Structures are given as C-alpha cells and as structure tokens.
C-alpha cells in the first residue's frame, strides 16, 4: 500500500489559516521544552490561525521502549511491540494538551485510533490507507487545539499500528491533507533546509524554498531534515511544508524553508543542495562468467532476502569475465554476503569483496533538466583533488558518486564551492 490519503471530511467549511504544527522528539525532550512548545502554539493561535499539533515521543523514549521489547523477546509479536512503542507519543500528546490548557488554550489529545488514522496490517512499518478529518475539524470548530499523537494509527485488526521510524512527520502531513490545511510546519533542531550540512561546510546557505522533488531526493540520499515518506506524501497531496527551528524563542518571526511545488519557485537554482550518506556498504563480485541472465541470478536471491540494492556498476574484460559492484545499506551487508556465498555455485564467481569505508555524495537540483555539464563539474572537481570515484548513479535531477570515506569533508566543501552554493 502507498501513503495515499483518502479524505473523509465533514461538511463544515475550513476557515482560512489552518496550520498543522509538528514537533519532534528534541522539541518535546523535557517539561521545559513542552512548555515552550505550548507557548509557541499559543503565539501562532493568537494570530487567528486554527492549529492542529502533532507530536513525537520525548527524545530517547522510543529507543528505551524498543530496547525493553527486545530485552524481553527479540522476536516479540509486532502487535504487542506497537502497543508498547506507541505509548511514547500518547504521553507527549497528553502533556502538551495539559501545558496548553495551563496557558488558557482549550486543547485535547487524540491518539491515532481516535481520529482515526487507518493503516494496513504491517505492524511496526505500517502504511497509511485513510485519514478521517471530521473529528479534528469538529474540534477546531469549537475553538480547540487538537494535539495528535504521531507515528501511529489503527490497523484493520482494530489494534494500534506504528508507521516506523520518522513516522510522526508522515502523520503530520497526512493530517494536513485530511483537514485541507494551508500548511504543515515541521519544527526541528535546525532553522530550515540548507544547501548542505553546515557542520561540514561552514558556508552552507539556508534555502528559502525548495521543490518537493529536490527535497525528496536529498532526503533519500542522506539529508536528515525531513523523513522521505512525509515528503513523498506532501508532494502527492500538494501540502506546503515549512521547516522551522523549535529552539527559537516563541513569538520570534521565523521564515524557515518552504517545500513547495516547482511552479512556486520563480528563479530555480541549477543545484539545490549536496547530501552525503555514510550508511553504505560496497560489495564487489569478481570474475563472473559473462552470460545472459547473470545479473538476475545475482539480484534475484538478494531481492528475496529483502536486501535493497542502490548503486550498480558492471564491467566486462577481454577475457569474457564480468566484474559487478553494487552498494547496500550497512544493516543489509551481512545478509547480502550470506546470500551471495550461498549462491556461489549458481553464480560461479571467483571472488567476493566488501568494504564499509565508503560514502555516497549526491548533488541534487531540478536545474539539471535544462543545464549541461553538471556531471562534468562534479567529476572534474573530485579529480582535481585526487578523489577517485568508485561507482556512479544518476536520476533526472540527481548525480551520486561513491568515494572513500576519508575524503567526505574535502569532497563536500569542494563541490559546494564548484556549484556556486557558498554563502557570501
């Protein structure tokens, strides 16, 4: 199933200025931060906007709950696992509602099943099937601020189902779609989307606007600002998303970064940003007989083992033997090696090699569609600094390369300058 949302809206007419405000774990990490969130919601509501709040569990709580489940049984029933790990958001939603009411703001908490936010049966990594907006709109119509527990819904079996890590972002966008909100504001520990990681490149610039496609690509290749599923859902449902800092003072004016449709951006940058991912493992299979169907023989058992393949490069020598290199996530490395070793007689390869000392660097921008030379700039810049490219992959608006991990910072800074992204 996809995250497509079936809107079931009550007849009440939506007032202008309906905003979903989502707060992540660090934003609600302790009681002082929860009080600050309540003041921020109050300040937004005082402008006349109608507000729905979506919250994550307090920082560290989900990890602790997961650890408790695994300590009791590493193969715990997924339905009971969901009942446990979803409790973190339930606590936060209640605490935020209490903090708002303390400030005189009418508020009430909602769990996923009370909306309801309906999911498929895949407990622990459920996909959203429908969100019914009627209860939330009715709450807004009487002046309340609904505070929704993110990350959770109700499965077809009537039991709590969680959406997987980062699922609160997806919950917020889904709720925004269901109530036809004007915008979904995601409050996090950064004040917007930057051209790259400012901890590595000090001259990174904050983007006022970025397209859904660019943000989706950046999120998929390592940028941590927004969760990939939430961006994909926002793009499908045309929900404008704004990224803001939860650590600015409540009431401070923040512009943040807007994630919007390409048509809303008048002057498009050729390159919007550069991302990196250390969650890569390279696997090379050497001396494979070059025959029809060999690629299928390699990747079919990997697919059956749920190993996700990313970058691929294949070369055939004059001796008629093929070498094939590809990347997987680090968590899949051991499984991939085990599968390939078990299929050695079928594939008939000579040698199997692997490395985790690699990093994937990606440049992303919708301007690639209409500008030539983007790839050449990347390859030339890395070559000038003696950085060898091991694997290349491309899409319509993205170029990714795999390099030695030791060159990560050098490559990021050099490419950021080469594409004219440095702040003045």
Domain of 298, CATH number, reads: 3.30.70.260
Residues 397, 210: contact at Cβ < 8 Å? no
Q: Report CA torsion sign: 191, 192, 194, 196.
A: positive
At 11 the pLDDT is: 34
Has residue 274 been placed in a domain? no
Q: How confident is the model over 149-169, as pLDDT tens digits?
A: 999 999 999 999 999 877 999
Out of 188, 215, 236, a domain closes at 188
8 A C-beta contact, residue 213 and residue 151: no
Question: Do 299 and 181 fall into the same domain?
Answer: no
The answer on 309 and 160 residing in a single domain is: no
Clarify whether residues 172 and 29 are in a common domain.
yes
Q: What is the pLDDT of residue 266?
A: 67
Residue 303 shares a structural domain with residue 156: no
pLDDT at position 267 is 65
pLDDT for res 164: 86
Q: Give a yes or no: residue 80 inside a domain.
A: yes
Both structure tokens of 129? 């099937």
- What pLDDT was estimated at residue 170? 95
Residue 362 forms beta bridges with which residues? 275, 400
Q: Flag whether 322 is in a domain.
A: yes
pLDDT per residue over 91-122, tens digit each? 999 999 999 999 999 999 999 999 999 999 98
Question: Same structural domain for residues 25 and 171?
Answer: yes
Residue pointed to by tokens 């009418």: 106
What's the token pair of residue 178? 């269901």
Mean pLDDT of the 358-383 span: 93
* Interval 266-285: pLDDT, tens: 666 789 999 999 999 999 99
For residues 180 and 318, membership in a common domain is answered with no
Q: Is the pLDDT of residue 13 over 60?
A: no
CATH, residue 171? 3.40.1160.10
If asked whether residues 184 and 287 sit together in one domain, one would say: no
Give the pairing of strands 128-132 and 6-8.
Answer: parallel
Residue 388 in 3-state DSSP?
A: coil
| Residue that wins the pLDDT comparison between 242 and 225 | 242
Inside any domain, residue 323: yes
For the chain, percent of residues with pLDDT exceeding 70: 95
Q: What is the per-residue pLDDT for 5?
A: 47
* 78 within some domain: yes
Is the predicted pLDDT of residue 53 greater than 90, yes or no?
Answer: yes
424 exposure class (CB count in 10 Å sphere: 0-12, 13-18, 19+): exposed
pLDDT, the chain, mean: 91
If pLDDT is split at 50, 70 and 90, which confidence band does 410 have?
very high
pLDDT above 70: residue 10: no
For residues 313 and 179, state if they share a domain. Answer: no
User: Which of the given ranges, 10-24, 190-204, 242-256, has the highest pLDDT on average?
Assistant: 190-204
Residue 159: inside a domain:
yes
Distance between CA atoms of residues 400 and 392, nearest Å: 6
Predicted local confidence at residue 251, as pLDDT: 67
Residue 238 has pLDDT above 70, yes or no: yes
Same-domain status, 32 and 145: yes
Phi, psi at residue 45, to the nearest 5°? -65, -35
- The band of 12, judged by pLDDT with boundaries at 50, 70 and 90, is very low
Residue 317 sits in which domain range? 281-355
Span 59-78, average pLDDT? 93
The answer to whether residue 248 sits within a structural domain is no
Total domains, the chain: 2
The answer to which of 180-194, 314-328, 333-347 has the lowest mean pLDDT is 314-328
Instruction: Using pLDDT thresholds of 50, 70 and 90, give the confidence band for residue 15.
Output: very low
- Three-state DSSP at 353 gives strand
Decide if pLDDT at 89 tops 90. yes
**Cβ(5)–Cβ(128) under 8 Å?**
yes
pLDDT at residue 318 in the model: 74
Is residue 214, in this structure, part of any structural domain at all? no
18/150 same-domain check: yes
Q: What is the mean pLDDT of residues 56-80?
A: 94
The answer to whether the pTM exceeds 0.85 is: no
Provide CB contacts within 8 A for 56, sequence distance 6+.
22, 23, 24, 25, 27, 28, 62, 88, 89, 92, 150, 151, 168
CB 361 within 8 A of CB 415: yes
Q: Are residues 288 and 177 in the same domain?
A: no
Instruction: Please indicate, yes or no, whether residues 32 and 149 belong to a single structural domain of this protein.
Output: yes
- Domain end: 188, 222, 237, which one? 188
Q: Report the pLDDT value the prediction gives residue 103, as an integer from 0 to 100.
A: 97
Using the 3D structure, point to which of 161, 188, 215 is the last residue of a domain: 188
């Amino acid at each position: 199933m996809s995250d497509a949302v079936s809107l079931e809206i009550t007849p009440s007419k939506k007032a202008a200025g309906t905003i979903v405000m989502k707060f992540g774990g660090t934003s609600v990490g302790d009681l002082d931060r929860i009080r600050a969130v309540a003041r921020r919601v109050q300040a937004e509501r005082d402008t006349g906007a109608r507000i729905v709040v979506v919250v994550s569990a307090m920082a560290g709580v989900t990890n602790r709950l997961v650890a408790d489940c695994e300590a009791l049984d590493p193969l715990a029933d997924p339905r009971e696992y969901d009942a446990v790990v979803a409790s973190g958001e339930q606590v936060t939603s209640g605490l935020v509602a209490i903090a708002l009411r303390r400030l005189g703001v009418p508020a009430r908490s909602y769990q996923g099943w009370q909306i309801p936010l309906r999911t498929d049966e895949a407990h622990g990594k459920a996909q959203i099937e429908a969100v019914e907006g009627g209860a939330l709109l009715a709450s807004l119509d009487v002046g309340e601020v609904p505070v929704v527990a993110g990350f959770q819904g109700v499965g077809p079996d009537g039991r709590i189902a969680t959406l997987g890590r980062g699922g609160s972002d997806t919950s917020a966008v889904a709720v925004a779609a269901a109530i036809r909100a004007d915008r979904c504001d995601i409050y996090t520990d950064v004040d917007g989307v930057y051209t790259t990681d400012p901890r590595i490149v000090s001259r990174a610039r904050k983007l006022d606007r970025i397209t859904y496609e660019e943000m989706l690509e950046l999120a998929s290749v390592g940028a941590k600002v927004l969760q990939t599923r939430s961006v994909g859902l926002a793009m499908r449902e045309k929900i404008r998303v704004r990224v803001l800092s939860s650590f600015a003072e409540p009431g401070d004016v923040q512009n943040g970064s807007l994630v919007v449709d390409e048509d809303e951006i008048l002057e498009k940058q050729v390159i919007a940003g550069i991302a990196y991912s250390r969650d890569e493992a390279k696997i090379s299979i050497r001396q494979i007989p070059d025959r029809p169907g060999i690629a299928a023989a390699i990747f079919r058992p990997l697919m059956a083992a749920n190993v996700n393949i990313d970058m691929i490069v294949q070369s055939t020598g004059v001796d008629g033997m093929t070498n094939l290199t590809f990347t997987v996530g680090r968590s899949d490395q051991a499984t991939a090696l085990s599968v390939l070793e078990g299929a050695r007689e079928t594939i008939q390869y000579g040698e199997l090699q692997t490395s985790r000392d690699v990093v994937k660097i990606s440049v992303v921008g919708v301007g690639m569609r209409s500008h030539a030379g983007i790839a050449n700039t990347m390859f030339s810049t890395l070559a000038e600094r003696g950085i060898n490219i091991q694997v290349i992959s491309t899409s319509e608006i993205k170029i990714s390369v795999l390099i030695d991990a030791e060159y990560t910072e050098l490559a990021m800074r050099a490419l950021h300058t080469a594409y004219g992204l440095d702040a003045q």
